[in-house]
Amino acid sequence: MTTAREHTEEVATRVTEHVALARLIGREPVFISTVEKIPIVARANSPVLILGETGTGKELCARAVHQLSRRRHLPFIPVDCGALPDFLFENELFGHVRGAFTDAHRDQRGLVAMAAGGTLFLDEIDSLTPAAQAKMLRLLQEGTYKPLGADQFSRADVRIIAATNLDLQHLVQLKKFRSDLYFRLNVLRLVMPPLRDRRDDILLLAQHFVQVLCDEAGISRKSLAPAAIEQLSRGAWPGNVRELFNVIQQAVVFAEGPTISTSHLAVSDDGLPPSAVAGGFREARARALEAFERSYVENLLRKHNGNVTRSAREAKKDRRAFGRLIKRYQIDRGMV
């Protein structure tokens, strides 16, 4: 017979699970199969590897794992590995002691220490240099690290969740990623499917984004016109859920009336500019992704009057990484 305490704990567990998974929206079987694994993965303490294309929600997945774990009351520290130059990696991750270098006037904790007892989320793990990979391997194998200038190792009690949009196994074969690090990371695997494999979720997500964005802006909720729904459903969405959110965000801003029409959607009938369907699949996908990235960065800069810091914050990107996108696409902040 279930006691009152056991019943209360069961209810609390269900509520926590509901809240943690609330932002992972979808009904497609390929998506649900991943979401159903999250509570199971969360109960373990092993490293997690999250795979998926850009914009599929890998960080949301990582946060859900953390929120459902025993570590949920302790820090969740995200690290954009692609934004960390090799010469800053050790200092950012492991910190330093006073006198470690010229400007080290005091001890400084690194991100590993900040995540103590919690979760360290390593996004774009594939971008780590060989030297950084070696140091990360020690952290995983031994649970220790050495701050710059320290004469002894420190112990780290953190759970590692890594994410990548590349095929790490292929990078191992190409000798671009350490096999031992790959096997240490690839203990529990979660795969976030691309939006093109979740066609029936597009409308569900779009309507959710419209509702959330209208509520955040304090305006009356808008609706999607039938033609707009059809156009969204036909989209190729190379930028996945993130691209869909960006398109809906623009539409909510520019639709002055109660209805969002096709004229408010910054996407063509097939979801791609005509040039994007020329050539092979890889080339077409690369061009479409570049078009999305350029448009996304330009629109954020326009929204924030060219302010890189605020734009990067809304994009949930490190400012330096966002700055590299501006430079890559030669975007003039004064002209957006």
pLDDT at 286: 66
Please give the average per-residue pLDDT across 226-235, as a whole number.
92
- pLDDT reading at 11 higher than 50: no
Looking at the fold, whether 93 and 17 belong to one and the same domain comes out as yes
Each residue's pLDDT tens digit, 75-126: 999 998 888 887 788 888 988 788 777 777 788 888 999 999 999 999 999 9
pTM above 0.95, yes or no: no
Q: Which residues contact 96 (CB under 8 A, 6 or more apart)?
A: 104, 107, 108, 110, 147, 148, 149, 150
- pLDDT reading at 272 higher than 80: no
Indicate the average pLDDT of the chain.
Answer: 85
Out of 168, 193, 218, pick the residue that ends a domain: 193
pLDDT at 116: 93
Out of 193, 224, 255, pick the residue that ends a domain: 193
Please give the average per-residue pLDDT across 130-153, as a whole number.
89
Type of residue found at 60? L
Total domains in the fold of the chain: 2
Q: Is 312 exposed, middle or buried (0-12, 13-18, 19+ CB in 10 A)?
A: buried
Looking at the fold, whether 45 and 86 belong to one and the same domain comes out as yes
Looking at the fold, whether 189 and 220 belong to one and the same domain comes out as no
Out of 193, 227, 246, pick the residue that ends a domain: 193
Strands 154-155 and 144-145: antiparallel
Looking at the fold, whether 132 and 211 belong to one and the same domain comes out as no
Which string of b and e fits 31-51 if b means at least 16 CB within 10 Å? beebbebbbebbeeeebbbbb
Considering the domain boundaries, does residue 271 fall inside one?
A: yes
Looking at the fold, whether 265 and 320 belong to one and the same domain comes out as yes
How big is the CA angle at 144 (ends 141 and 145), to the nearest 5 degrees? 120
Please give the average per-residue pLDDT across 311-326, as a whole number.
83
Looking at the fold, whether 26 and 171 belong to one and the same domain comes out as yes
CATH number of domain containing 170: 3.40.50.300
Looking at the fold, whether 126 and 187 belong to one and the same domain comes out as yes
Both tokens of 200, joined, read 């029936």
